[in-house]
């Protein structure tokens, strides 16, 4: 058997309000270099390029971010960097990739990847993906990468697996759960057979196409029409006209949950444990933790600046590139300065940043969002 | 008796490190508009102009600030805005004014005024000064304006007066004290016959000239030579050459303390209680208090910005003009942003700002000081 062909589909829509004022509608989280020199979008592509030629990549984004993405990942085929005419969540996005490939490469494995996550160990990430690709290629299997939880996180969906079912390293999936409350999250952590849903999935083009025909029949018809026009002069108009008619639904809701209801043995759903230093960097607080763990800075101060003076200051995240920053007698703050805005909050309050963006939206302060 | 002629001498040297990063070597506190539209220098001149014609004013500053002061107070006589070739404290500065006037206007009253204080009630300030001018003109009297203390402040010098001696509203002065420690400051406050030394003095040109001849004879000779050259082509060179040879001493040390030692009845030293809303705005904390008392802002947040969003935030002083400022879950902070620097501290730590300037001086980061 030849090595299965691999086609990454990168999801790069999303607004990234949680990194305001750095993230904006036209400069979402995945287009920022929050973790080093390259943006998270660029890092996502660079991590996957050893597994697939550039022409295999497809990117789904929105109109606000399209031009910047084309600029950031020049190696990729521009024709396959698509701006959704309307946000329709993950099921139509990945479905379009399935129908584009099904006719010519039915056995190609499609991988769905968020573009705004950090992976510490790219090598181990690729080793894991190759295992998942093999499982996905071996039949009508659907593979989801699951992250071993280390805290009772309430911000993620969880995957419950069948204990002891991981002969091939992947567990059989019992069910997907929505974001739990604190009590249930703690119970999941204690139980030991729950993983965080990473949002990374693997399946063959024909498995995915068939799953969409089964679970989202109307949307599947629309996507087949769009896929048929790809490469023709009519594509842009067809995409713009038909895509908004797709259901606005995640692949989790549309396919994985109903599929898991069929029961183990029939669902063909597998969870492959992923242990490559995954972090979704969901807030300034998470970014602070990520940097302190990585660089172990003095007094846990993470400061982006021209130069710095600190005195009785610890646990601060300060972003003011090009400025001299002086922090005196302050702890656990998050201060982020841009050309037009200044955020001053604490690590404990950083999740409230979304409220600022909501306020700016309401006040129609468009330049600031 | 005709109304005494009045000649204000404004001291506008001084570096104002306590308002870093807004205050700099070339933009000292008195040249900032910390309290409204006009700078403290401009406010000082505007407050005094109803009492004396512009040609009577003299300003002593340093070379860093000279050009900016000339720009800020265009009504004043440029020739009388002097930049000290070397900082020599208040005695030589005020002494020069005395010798300049003594020959032609021996009975003119000279007033010494810091340029970096805030006065809430300018009208009452002028009424008080007119009283002081009359006392100073009535003989060889020296009048110092004393502020009624309302807290055991350790940052000011105190004036002890003779209780019950204020028949003419001015008390006889027993002695001047240096900045006390907390215990002594509390005792002064309880005693009731202590005033803060405002640094504002009134005396006639001949009284002051004679006092300098008596207490600082060498410096008096130098200042007489400089004064003799005023208005001639030689002045600039003479001033530059001779002024640095003056003793570096305050008028308090050089004249007032030894004078008070002569005892009441002989010293001719009077303290005129001043109750016109004096504030020396000695720190960001003091400025915050000044603004909250004046404008009673919501949740005691004083924010200079383009627009603002606050949530669970109180008691903050934030200066970021032109920016949208969002403050979430933070209390009692001082955050000041300039083109090249960002200060993040607390109201309780604002007095440590001087340590930042010291660090910048040591590191020779001249652009930042």
Picking from A230, A247, A279, the residue at the C-terminal end of a domain is A279
Instruction: Give yes or no: residues A61 and A187 share one domain.
Output: yes
Task: Provide the CB-side half-sphere exposure for A44 (13 A, CA).
Answer: 31
In chain A, where does DSSP find H-type helix? Answer: 40-48, 66-72, 90-102, 122-137, 182-191, 205-215, 217-229, 235-242, 251, 257-260, 284-295, 353-362
- Does the residue B96 lie in any domain? yes
- Residue A167, pLDDT > 80, answer no
Using the beta-carbon criterion (under 8 Å), do A316 and B344 form an inter-chain contact?
yes
- Whether A1 is in a domain gets the answer no
Cβ-Cβ contacts under 8 Å for A347 (sequence gap 6 or more)? A284, A285, A288, A315, A317, A332, A333, A334
Q: What percent of chain B has pLDDT over 90?
A: 90
Within 8 A by CB and 6+ apart from B336, the residues are B21, B22, B284, B317, B318, B319, B320, B342, B343
* R_g over Cα of chain B: 21
- The shortest C-alpha distance from B13 to chain A (Å) reads 26
pLDDT the model gives residue B39:
96
- β partners of residue A8: A111
Tell me which of B284, B328, B348, B361 to substitute to probe the interface with A (most A C-beta atoms closer than 10 Å).
B328
Residue A133 lies in a domain: yes
Residue of B324, B344, B360 with shortest CB distance to A335: B344
* pLDDT classification of A2: cutoffs 50, 70, 90: low
List CB contacts (< 8 A) between A360 and chain B. Answer: 309, 324
The pLDDT of residue A155: 87
Chain A partners within 8 Å of B329 (Cβ): 345-346, 348-349, 352
Q: What is the pLDDT of residue B294?
A: 87
Amino acid B85: pLDDT = 95
State the nearest Cα–Cα gap between A289 and chain B, in angstroms.
Answer: 19
Assigned domain for A167 exists: yes
For residue range A256-311, list pLDDT tens digits in order: 999 999 998 889 999 999 999 999 888 999 999 999 988 899 999 999 999 999 99
Of A279, A308, A332, the position where a domain reaches its end is A279
What is chain B's mean pLDDT, rounded? 95
Which residues sit opposite A314 in a β-bridge?
A331
Compute the mean pLDDT over every residue in chain A, rounded to the nearest whole number.
95
In a domain, A163, yes or no: yes
Mean pLDDT of A323-345: 98
Interface residues from chain A to B (CB-CB < 8 Å) = 20-21, 305-307, 309, 311-313, 316, 318, 320, 322-330, 333, 335, 337, 340-346, 348-349, 352-353, 355-356, 359-360, 365, 368
Q: Same domain for B260 and B340? A: no
Per the CB < 8 A criterion, the answer to whether B336 and A317 are in contact is no
Please check whether residues B242 and B121 belong to one and the same domain.
yes
ipTM of the complex: 0.89
Together in a domain, A167 and A296: no
Average pLDDT score over residue span B105-131: 96
Give yes or no for residue A314 having a pLDDT over 90.
Answer: yes
Burial A97-109 (b: 16+ CB within 10 A, else e): bbbbbbeebebbb
**pLDDT, average across residues B88-109:** 95
A337: β partners = A342
The pLDDT, as a whole number, for residue B155 is 87
Q: Is residue A350 a part of any domain in this protein? A: yes
pLDDT at B167: 77
| CA-based nearest residue in chain B for residue A344 | B327
pLDDT reported for residue B176: 93
> Both A75 and A146 in a single domain?
yes
Q: Which of A307, A309, A356 sits opposite B326 (nearest CB)?
A: A356
Mean pLDDT, range B26-32, rounded to an integer? 94
Residue B222 binned pLDDT confidence (cut-offs 50, 70, 90): very high
Total-model pTM? 0.89
Cα-Cα end-to-end distance for chain A: 51
| Continuous H helices in chain B | 40-48, 66-72, 90-102, 122-137, 182-191, 205-215, 217-229, 235-242, 251, 257-260, 284-295, 353-362
Q: Quick check: is B1 in a domain?
A: no
B335 with A356: Cβ contact below 8 A: no
With CA atoms as reference, report the closest residue to A239 among A224, A218, A254, A217.
Answer: A224
Q: Are both A201 and A308 inside the same structural domain?
A: no
CA distance B297 to chain A (A): 19
Instruction: Reply yes or no: is the peptide bond before residue A21 cis, omega within 30 of 0.
Output: yes
Inter-chain residue contact B328 with A353, CB threshold 8 Å? yes
Task: Identify whether residues B272 and B350 lie together within a single domain.
Answer: no
Residue B278 has pLDDT above 90, yes or no: yes
What is the per-residue pLDDT across A4-44, written as a single tens digit (0 to 9) for each? 899 999 999 988 789 999 999 999 999 999 888 899 999 99
Q: Please, are residues B220 and B95 in contact by the beta-carbon 8 Å criterion?
A: yes
Q: Are residues A270 and A294 in the same domain?
A: no
- Helix, strand, coil share (%) of chain A residues, nearest 5: 40, 25, 35
Distance between B313 CA and the closest CA of chain A, angstroms: 9
Say yes or no: A228 and A290 in one domain. Answer: no
Please write the tens of the pLDDT for every residue from A44-79: 999 999 999 999 999 999 999 999 999 999 999 999
In this structure, are residues B281 and B16 in contact, taking their beta carbons and an 8 Å threshold? no
Domain span holding position A244: 6-279
Q: Are residues B222 and B364 in the same domain?
A: no
**What chain B residue is nearest to A310 in terms of C-alpha separation?**
B356
Average pLDDT over residues A212-229: 97
Of A323, A329, A343, the CB nearest to B352: A329
Give the mutation candidate from A304, A318, A328 for the B interface (greatest B CB count, under 10 A).
A328
In degrees, to the nearest 5, what angle opens at C-alpha B207 toward C-alphas B205 and B210? Answer: 105
Q: Look at chain A and report how many structural domains it folds into.
A: 2
Per DSSP, the residues of B74-123 read TTS-GGGEEEESS---HHHHHHHHHHHHHTT-TTPEEEEEESS-EES-HH
- Which pairing describes strands B158-161 and B194-204: parallel, antiparallel, or unpaired? antiparallel
Mark whether A173 and A315 lie in a shared domain: no
Interchain CB distance below 8 Å, B356 and A316? no
Number of C-beta neighbours around residue A184 at 10 A = 16
Q: Is the pLDDT of residue B38 over 70?
A: yes
Total CB pairs under 8 A between chain A and B: 134
Q: How far is CA B247 from the centre of its chain?
A: 20
Comparing CA positions, the residue from B42, B37, B34, B51 lying closest to residue B73 is B42
In a domain, A332, yes or no: yes
Boundary residue ending a domain (A279, A300, A319): A279
Residues B339 and B269 in one domain: no
pLDDT tens for residues B285-319? 999 999 998 889 999 999 999 999 999 999 999 99
Task: Give A141-164 pLDDT, tens digit per residue.
Answer: 999 999 999 999 998 999 999 998
CA distance linking residue B181 with residue B189, whole number of Å: 12
Which residues of chain A make contact with B306, given a CB cutoff of 8 A? 340
Q: Is the pLDDT of residue A237 over 60?
A: yes
What is the signed CA dihedral for B9, B10, B11, B15, rounded to 10 degrees? -170
Q: CATH code at A32?
A: 3.90.550.10
Dihedral sign, Cα of residue A256, residue A259, residue A264, residue A269: negative
Residues of B in Cβ contact (< 8 Å) with A357: none
């Amino acid at each position: 058997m030849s090595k299965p062909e691999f086609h990454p589909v990168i999801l790069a829509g999303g607004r990234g309000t949680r990194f305001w004022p750095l993230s904006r509608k036209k400069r979402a989280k995945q287009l920022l270099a929050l973790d080093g020199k390259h943006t998270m979008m660029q890092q996502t592509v660079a991590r996957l390029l050893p597994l697939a030629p550039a022409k295999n990549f497809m990117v789904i984004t929105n109109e606000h971010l399209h031009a910047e993405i084309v600029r950031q990942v020049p190696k990729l085929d521009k024709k396959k960097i698509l701006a959704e005419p309307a946000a329709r969540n993950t099921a139509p996005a990945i479905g379009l990739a399935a129908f584009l490939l099904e006719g010519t490469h039915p056995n190609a494995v499609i991988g769905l990847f968020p573009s705004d996550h950090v992976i510490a160990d790219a090598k181990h990430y690729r080793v894991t993906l190759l295992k998942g690709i093999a499982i996905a290629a071996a039949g009508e299997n659907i593979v989801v990468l699951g992250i071993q939880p280390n805290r009772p996180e309430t911000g993620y969906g969880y995957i419950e697996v069948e204990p002891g079912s991981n002969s091939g390293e992947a567990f059989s999936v019992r069910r997907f759960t929505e974001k739990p409350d604190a009590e249930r999250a703690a119970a999941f952590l204690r139980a030991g057979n729950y993983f965080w849903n990473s949002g990374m999935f693997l399946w063959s083009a024909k498995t995915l196409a068939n799953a969409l025909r089964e679970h989202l029949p109307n949307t599947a018809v629309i996507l087949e029409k769009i896929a048929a026009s790809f490469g023709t002069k009519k594509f842009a108009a067809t995409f713009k006209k038909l895509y908004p008619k797709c259901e606005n639904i995640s692949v989790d809701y549309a396919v994985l949950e109903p599929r898991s209801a069929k029961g183990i043995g029939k669902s063909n759903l597998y969870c492959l444990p992923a242990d490559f230093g995954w972090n979704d960097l969901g807030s300034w607080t998470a970014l602070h933790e990520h940097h302190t763990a990585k660089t172990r800075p003095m007094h846990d101060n993470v400061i982006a600046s021209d130069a710095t003076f600190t005195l009785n200051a610890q646990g601060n995240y300060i972003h003011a590139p090009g400025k001299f920053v002086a922090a005196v007698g302050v702890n656990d703050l998050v201060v982020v300065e841009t050309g037009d805005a200044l955020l001053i909050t604490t690590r404990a309050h950083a999740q409230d940043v979304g409220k600022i963006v909501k306020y700016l939206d309401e006040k129609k302060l468009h330049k600031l969002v």
